Amino acid sequence: MATIVLVHGIAQEQAAADTLEAQWLPGLAGGVRNHGDHELADRLWRNGVPGEISARMAFYGNQFLAKGAQGGAVGDLDEEQLELMEQLAELWLENAAEHASDQRDRLTAQRLAAVPPPDARAQGAKAALRPALNALVRLRWFAPFGIGLAEKFVVRALSQVTRYFTDDAVRQYAQQQVLTHVGPDTKLVIAHSLGSVVAYEALHHVDQEVTLLTMGSPLGLRTVIYDRLRPQPCTVPKAVAGWYNLVDRDDLVAAHLDLAPYFPPFPGAGVAPITEEPLDNGASPHDSTHYLTKAVTGGIVAKALAS
pLDDT per position as a tens digit, 165-180: 999 999 999 999 999 9
**73: in domain:** no
Identify any residues that bridge with 46 across adjacent strands, giving them in sequence order: 49
What is the value of pTM for the model shown?
0.88
- pLDDT digits over 10-46, tens only? 889 999 999 999 999 999 999 999 999 999 999 999 9
Residue 129 phi/psi, 5-degree rounding, is -70, -30
Torsion of CA 39, 41, 43, 48, to 10 degrees: -130
> 128 pLDDT band (50/70/90 cuts)?
very low
**74: in domain:** no
- Judge if 56 and 88 occupy the same domain: no
- Judge if 302 and 181 occupy the same domain: yes
User: Do the beta carbons of residue 254 and residue 222 sit within 8 Å?
Assistant: no
Least confident span in 76-85, 190-199, 236-245: 76-85
Overall number of domains in the chain: 2
Q: Which of 166, 187, 204 is the last residue of a domain?
A: 166
- Judge if 161 and 195 occupy the same domain: no
Q: What is the pLDDT, as a whole number, of residue 226?
A: 95
Q: E strand or H helix at 136, and its extent?
A: helix 125-137
Identify any residues that bridge with 188 across adjacent strands, giving them in sequence order: 4, 211
Share of the chain above pLDDT 90, in %: 58
- Judge if 25 and 131 occupy the same domain: no
- Judge if 17 and 118 occupy the same domain: no
User: Do the beta carbons of residue 247 and residue 256 sit within 8 Å?
Assistant: yes
Domain that holds residue 162: 79-166
Q: What is the pLDDT, as a whole number, of residue 222?
A: 85
Residue 103 CB neighbour total at 10 angstroms: 8
Q: Which of 166, 196, 227 is the last residue of a domain?
A: 166
Q: What value does the mean pLDDT of the chain take?
A: 85
- Judge if 136 and 172 occupy the same domain: no
Q: How far is residue 20's CA from residue 58's CA, in Å, rounded to a whole number?
A: 10
Of the candidates 129, 130, 138, 96, the residue with the CA atom closest to the CA atom of residue 113: 96
Query: Which of 218-222, 234-238, 274-278 is most confident?
Result: 234-238
Q: What is the pLDDT, as a whole number, of residue 114?
A: 64
Of the candidates 74, 32, 71, the residue with the CA atom closest to the CA atom of residue 53: 32
- pLDDT digits over 251-307, tens only? 888 887 899 999 999 998 999 999 999 999 988 888 999 999 999 999 999 999 997
- pLDDT digits over 106-123, tens only? 566 666 666 554 444 444
- Judge if 16 and 139 occupy the same domain: no
Q: What is the pLDDT, as a whole number, of residue 74?
A: 54
Number of residues assigned to the chain: 307
Q: What is the pLDDT, as a whole number, of residue 165?
A: 94
- Judge if 141 and 41 occupy the same domain: no
Q: What is the pLDDT, as a whole number, of residue 151?
A: 65
Q: Which of 134, 166, 198 is the last residue of a domain?
A: 166
- Judge if 21 and 99 occupy the same domain: no
Contact partners, residue 163, CB within 8 Å, separation at least 6 = 63, 64, 69, 71, 81, 170
- Give the gyration radius of the chain's Cα atoms: 19
Distances (CA, A) of 23 to 19, 48, 50, 78, 173: 6, 11, 11, 35, 23
Q: What is the pLDDT, as a whole number, of residue 88?
A: 84
Q: How far is residue 157's CA from residue 65's CA, in Å, rounded to a whole number?
A: 13
Q: What is the pLDDT, as a whole number, of residue 71?
A: 45
**190: in domain:** yes
Q: What is the pLDDT, as a whole number, of residue 287?
A: 92
**241: in domain:** yes
Classify the C-alpha dihedral 206-212-218-221 as positive or negative: positive
- Judge if 33 and 129 occupy the same domain: no
Q: What is the pLDDT, as a whole number, of residue 107?
A: 67
Of the candidates 285, 41, 49, the residue with the CA atom closest to the CA atom of residue 145: 285
Is the pLDDT assigned to residue 158 strictly greater than 50?
yes
**44: in domain:** yes
**71: in domain:** no
Residue 274 phi/psi, 5-degree rounding, is -110, 115
- Judge if 107 and 200 occupy the same domain: no
Work out the angle at residue 77's Cα, subtended by the Cα atoms of residues 73 and 79, and round it to the nearest 5 degrees: 145
Task: Give 215's DSSP letter.
Answer: E
CA 174 remoteness from chain centre: 13
- Judge if 60 and 174 occupy the same domain: yes
Residue 97 one-letter amino acid:
A
